[in-house]
Each structure stands twice: as C-alpha cells, then as structure tokens.
Structure 1
Amino acid sequence: MNSMKTKALAGSLFSLLLLTLLALPATASDSAAESDILLSVLGNANEDGAIDMKDVEYTESIILGSGNRTQFADATGDNSIDMLDVTKIELIKLGKAKELTLVDGVGRQVNVALPVENIIPTDYRTTETLLALGTGDMIVGVDRAFHERMSEFGLTELPEVAMHGQSVDYEMVLTLKPDIVLLPLWQAENADEIAKNLPDTSVVVMGLASQKSIDSDLTTMGFVLGKEAEVNELLSWMQGYEVLVEERTKDLKAEDMPAFYYEYMSGGEEKWWVITPDDPSAGQVAEGTGGLNIATGLAGTSVEVDPEWVIEKNPDFMFADLMKGFDSGPGKTKEDMENLLGKVLSGRPGFEKVNAVKNNHVYLVDRDIIGGPRWVIGHIFFTKCMHPELFEDIDPAEIHKEYLKKFHNLEVAGTWAYPLPE
C-alpha cells in the first residue's frame, strides 16, 4: 500500500513538472534577447546572450517535447538532447565545466578546455581587439604585422608566429603551448589543416576585425575567456556611437544623400579598385552614413573598375582606403597626410572633372579606424564628411583619443584620417 502511494506521489510530481515545462515558450526566439548579438556556445539553448537557468529550463522543455530544438541546445555536442545536456549547462552556468564547445565564425564546432590561460592571435587587428578586453597577460605570441604596424600597443617582446594570419610557425606555436589559436575569417579554408598541425590546441576562426561579425564574436570570445564584463563595456561604447549616427541620419531622404567612391588600397598599384557594400568590414562601415556608394550592385567585395567608369559616375565624395598602414597613423602629421593626398590624386587624368575633386571632398582613411572596435570611428568620419551640419559637436579625432585611453591606456600622436571635416 505504501509502495502504491509512493508511485502515485511520484507520478503526480512528474505530471506537475510536465505541466510546468509545457508552459515554457515553444520557441527559443520568444525567450531570446531582442539583440541580434549571439553567444555561439553550445549550451545557450534559448539563444540569448547568456548561459543560465533559462537554458536549463528550455532544454528540459525540448526533452519533454514542448520546446523546439535549437542549434546550441546540444551542450555535449553528441547530436542528442537529453539530461546530460542539462547537467552540462548547469556546470557551465556554475563555472565548473572543464570544457565547452563554441561554434566559430565559419560554423566549425571547436572544443575548448577551461580555464583558458594562453592565446595566440595570428592577425594583428584581432590582437588589438583582444587587448581592448584586457587580455595582454594571456597573449603569448603575435603575428609579424602586429609588431610592424601596431607597435604602439606594446607586446614587443613576444615571439612572431605568423604573418597576417598566414604562414603559421607550427614549431613555435607548439613550444608556446597556447590553449587557443585565433585565425581571421580569411583563413577559414585553412583552419582544419592548421588544426591538424596543432594537436591539443583549439584552433578558432573569429571575425574580431570585421564590422559585420565583431559584436557576436566578441560576445563569444568574452564568455570563453572570462571577460564578459570587459566585452559588455566595449560593446556599449561601440553601440553608443553607432546609434548616434543612426539617429542623426535617419531622416535623410535619397536626394540628401551624396554619391561616394570608396577606393580600395589607394596609393598602391596603378589600378582603380572600388569597395562594395558587400565587403563585411570596410564596405559595411561606409553603409548607413548618409551617402550612396557608387559600387552598389557590383559583384564582389572589392572590384577593379575602369577610371572612365568612376569619372562617369561623378561621385560627390571620395574616400581613399589606406590599407598598408605605413604612410598614415601613429607619428604622422597633417603635412605628411597632405603630401600623401597629393600622391593618391596624382596620375589620374580626367579626375579633376569629378565633383569630389573639384569641391575638395577627397579624404584619406587609415584602415586602423575601419577594422576592429575602431570601426565606429571610421563610421562617424564618413558621416561627418558628407553631413558636417549634423555632427558639428562631434570630432572623430577626439573619439579616437577616447578609445585609445579608455581601452588601452594610451596616448598616441598621429593622423588616421585627413582632412578632418570642419
């Protein structure tokens, strides 16, 4: 009789649990945060920006059939959603998990042992982004381009293990024993091959230098590295200026938007390359700035065009992309940039007829304020050049100083954009 009562009580408790779980949201999107920022870690069952009790509850609802399966609900990565996933999520939530699985910037599932102590970014712009999170003591190796182009950020004593995400020195990396090696997006096709040569190392592809992906990838890496607070501070800073531009340009009509020509790698080869809106970094930075890109509709991210095509389009503004990073930036004066502007405009017969040149609306933009967290500085610069009347109180150079001081404790003299719009 006591046995029957016990079974009845257990059945009642299970029914109560079932009814409770059936009341949970039927889809993850209902319980997810409104933000488009995604934490790409297995265990983020409801696909919001955290791993917490809501993910435990949502995973239980999937098990009982009331919730829809989501990409990140399989916390153990075994292609099955069961109570083992619930346990794993609880361990992650409590900070007791010994390993987690992230989905990197190109969809690869990568296991990462916890806690992460040593990391190697193989691209200099990724290194800058990580330094903005206060990870200087975790970085044990850098790429040669970081020493050449960003020496102002320090780490001069660290060994060079790659060159701009390429030519990875496997022997050196294995000697340094990093927990994670970070590759930029353009090395995605080589990621699996690099991983084969680096056993016991998590090789992760992340777009920490790309405007299109930086918010979500920062959120994911911040979680993995235990730098959530630092990520939130950086994201808040970036989004504040992004919203500022959006608010001040939202009422512009098409007839108020000048046409612009954004040239890729100006001052380099004797070719004319145009950056399209499809470019996930520079092209996206120039979007939403109150202008119309003459390259809209062209296939590709950077496309070689005929000079006659640009002249025929007759853009009102020209932005010259300074990709190489040696002729602008730290230590460069306005005089240096004036000379560089003359060089960029030389050897362009017929270009003097273009509105951008006739009206002195040709601007130089260093890639350092286009990639990584500094993308918002370039974003504001583009907008102020084309609509100075909307940004009379905003100085991109001062915002740049603010970033360097706030996130790197640096004061660096130099010129990253020229001329500054009045």
Structure 2
Amino acid sequence: MSRLHVLRRLSRCAFAALAGVSAVLSALPAHAEIQVTDVLGRQVTLAQPAERVALGFYFEDYIAITGPSAIDRLAAVSLNYWKGYRPLQYEAYLRRFPQLAGLADFGDADSGTLSAEKIIATKPDVAILSAGQFDYLGAAASAIEAAGIPLVVVDYNAQTVARHVASTLVIGRVMGTEDRARELAENYEAMMADTERRVASAAPATKPVVYVELGQKGPAETGNSYGKGMWAGVIDKAGGLNIAAGKVGNWGPLAPEYVLSSRPDFVFLTGSEWQSMPNALLMGFDIDRGTTLERLAAYLSRPGWKDLPAIEGGHLYAVYHGGVRSLVDYVYLRYIAKALHPTAFEDVDPRAELVSYYRRFLPIEPKGTFMLRLPDGAAQ
C-alpha cells in the first residue's frame, strides 16, 4: 500500500471520528437548565444563569450575592425603592457604577406604577421581585411568565433566618453564584445564632423597656412606632419589652402621654436619607455624625422627655432605618442588643462588623452615620 493511500485512509478515519464527536456534542444541551424553588414554593426554570435581570427590591443583597458582575447584569429596577427611599445609598453606587443611570425603571407599588408590561419590555432573563411586589401584581404576574420571562420571588421582609437564607440561596442559584450565596447565608446564620445565644445568656430579671420611633417628622410631631414586624421584630430578638406591642398594628404613632407613662429605659429613633423632609432625623450614606447628633438632640425638647429613665441614663440612640430586612441587618440587631445587654455583648463592635461586611461582600464603603448614641451629658 502506497504512503499516499495510507495517509488518505488515516484522514478518512480522523474525519469520521471528528464527525462522531461532533454529532454527540450537538446532541447535548449547550448548558444545563437551572431549577429553583422560590420562597413561595413556586418551581421556576431558567435556561442558564441570568445575564439580564429585572430587580424589584433588595438591591444591596442582590449585589452582595452576585458579586463583581452584579451591576452589569441589571437590565431594569424598581427605581423608587432604591433612589427614592435610599437616595444617598443609590448615589454612592452611582458614583462607583455610572451605568446605573441608564437602567430602565418598571415602576413601584407605592405609586401604583409597578407594571408587568414595563418588565416585559426590558426583555430580562429573569424578574426577581419581593413577595409584596408579587402580591401587588396579582394575575398580571402570569403575563410576565407567559412572555417567557421566569419570575422569582424572594423575601427579606419576613425577618426570619429561614426566609433570609432561602432568599439568598435562590438569588445565588438564579445568578450562578451559589458559593457566594452559601457564604453569605452561613455568615448570617452564624451571626444570628451568636446574637441569640448572647441575649439568652443575659436573661435579666425584667426585660428592659424600649420605645422605637420613626424619625421622619422631627420632635414636634410623633412618628410611627412598631407593634409587630420591622423594628418591633428587632426589639423582640434583642430581648427588649416593646411598649408599642399590642398598642398599634404593624406601625402607627403612640400617644405622647402613653410614652411618658411607660417610662422606657431605652429610646431608639430611626433615621435615614430623608433630605426632602426638613425636620427628619438624617442618617445613612454621606450623612455626617454632627448632623445626626444635632437632629437627635432636638428630641430632648419634647415635654417630659428629660425625665425619662432612658434620657437620665444616657440611652437615647439613633439607628439607620435602612438597616433592617437585609443580609446585614444582624449588625443593627447587635447594636441594639448591646445597648440593652452591654456585658453579654462586651466584645462585640457592631460598627466594625458593618465595615467588615461591606469590605467582604460589597463594592463600596459604608461612609456616613448608621448608628449613634447621644453622648452622656448631652441630656442635661
């Protein structure tokens, strides 16, 4: 057999082998489908990790879970829930990621503009919505899925460890960042378990009496307190006796006379980036400590407040209102728990834990004022 004939035969064999491999590869899917069960127990299928996301809520949690590619993979957001409610937080991310300015806005439930049609128009690979947003859409949510867009529901508002962990793992699965999701979930579980253990070890004979007030309106007008959920849930976990429990529903103002007669041992005012509200307790990103202190001290002008045990004992605090219902809310729980049980939390530094969380999981620094105590002596 000639050398040329041998070479031709080898070439035909090699071509046949390659053709066989090609046939096998073409018969395989280009990628494995992603099966996920969201927090409502809904079975959702994605063709692959999402590259275009319509995100309704929990912006920092999504960024922490998704990692460095998080912003580039956003197609649309419910803008008012970010830029409207946490404007300086949004600005901090906008400075770092200017492309945020170009994201589509699909509306929000509070203004009645949240729209399935707007979500569909952005052509995302997935829509990640809160449980409240899903409920708001009602039957219209099915239109999103009918358009071929998987819809996944997550829920940090429930303020339970189980829902926090489940929501985190769901986002990680959808985004293909399951290792980060597990790390965040484990961190949250560990910090909450440590907090629960410390609170249980404190076990005072009587629970410290606590009053929490939303600081939007300033000292001249009583803001909402929380009977259950939101800050009420935090006070419960911190081992405090919430004077609003059973007096208001989820939230509502308490009568000033009732607050005085309850003689709270601790008072926590919640503040945020409410720059459009002239008397609000300002806190959060890019709010300096002096501004928060000045606004907090103004509450001492309220009739009878200087005689409260909380004020006499130097226990008037300000905490960031955006600090609950997120993967970093354990920091604010630990801040309040340390105020109530200083010995049990003696070696805990919640401010340092906040900075550590951002350095570990987020692309910006928490520059601003997020937790603060009116200095002893300022009450006189």
TM-score (norm: length of structure 1): 0.68
Q: 1:271 Cα shift?
A: 3.0
Q: 1:396 Cα shift?
A: 1.2
CA distance in 2, matches of 1:262, 1:322: 11
Considering only aligned residues, what root-mean-square deviation do their CA atoms show, in Å? 2.9
Correspondences of 1:22-421 after superposition (within 5 Å): 98=33, 100=35, 102-105=37-40, 109=42, 111-115=44-48, 116-123=50-57, 126-133=58-65, 134=67, 135-145=70-80, 146-147=82-83, 148-150=87-89, 151-154=91-94, 155-158=97-100, 159-163=103-107, 166=110, 167-168=113-114, 172-196=118-142, 198=144, 199-212=147-160, 213-267=163-217, 270-276=221-227, 278-279=228-229, 281-298=230-247, 300-322=249-271, 326=275, 327-346=282-301, 348-419=302-373
Would the alpha carbon gap of residues 136 and 156 (structure 1) be closer, same or farther in structure 2, given more than 3 Å must change? same
Q: 1:172 Cα shift?
A: 4.8
Q: 1:235 Cα shift?
A: 1.5
CA distance in 1, matches of 2:55, 2:178: 19
For the residue of structure 2 that corresponds to 1:251, the secondary structure is: helix
Contact 1:129–1:372, Cα closer than 8 Å, also in 2? yes
CA distance in 1, matches of 2:30, 2:206: 52
Q: 1:325 Cα shift?
A: 5.2
Deviations 1:67-124 (A, max 9, x none): xxxxxxxxxxxxxxxxxxxxxxxxxxx996536363444x5x353332132212122x
Q: 1:299 Cα shift?
A: 5.5
Q: 1:206 is matched by which residue type in structure 2? A: V
Deviations 1:151-193 (A, max 9, x none): 2234442324145555235565334211222222333432334
Q: 1:368 Cα shift?
A: 2.6
CA distance in 1, matches of 2:123, 2:267: 46
CA distance in 2, matches of 1:410, 1:99: 30
For the residue of structure 2 that corresponds to 1:140, the secondary structure is: strand
Q: 1:344 Cα shift?
A: 4.2
CA distance in 1, matches of 2:74, 2:247: 40
CA distance in 1, matches of 2:266, 2:328: 22
CA distance in 1, matches of 2:39, 2:105: 21
For the residue of structure 2 that corresponds to 1:241, the secondary structure is: helix
Deviations 1:320-358 (A, max 9, x none): 122555521122222111112034444x32233221122
Q: 1:216 is matched by which residue type in structure 2? A: A
CA distance in 2, matches of 1:118, 1:239: 29
Residue of structure 1 in register with 2:15 after alignment? none
TM-score (norm: length of structure 2): 0.75
Contact 2:296–2:374, Cα closer than 8 Å, also in 1? no
Q: 1:243 Cα shift?
A: 2.2
CA distance in 1, matches of 2:270, 2:30: 44
For the residue of structure 1 that corresponds to 2:99, the secondary structure is: coil
Would the alpha carbon gap of residues 138 and 395 (structure 1) be closer, same or farther in structure 2, given more than 3 Å must change? same
CA distance in 2, matches of 1:399, 1:157: 29
Contact 2:36–2:170, Cα closer than 8 Å, also in 1? no
Q: 1:273 is matched by which residue type in structure 2? A: N
The percent of aligned pairs where both chains have the same amino acid is 23
Gaps of 5+ in 1: 1-93
Residue of structure 2 in register with 1:19 after alignment? none
Q: 1:381 Cα shift?
A: 0.5
Q: 1:313 Cα shift?
A: 0.9
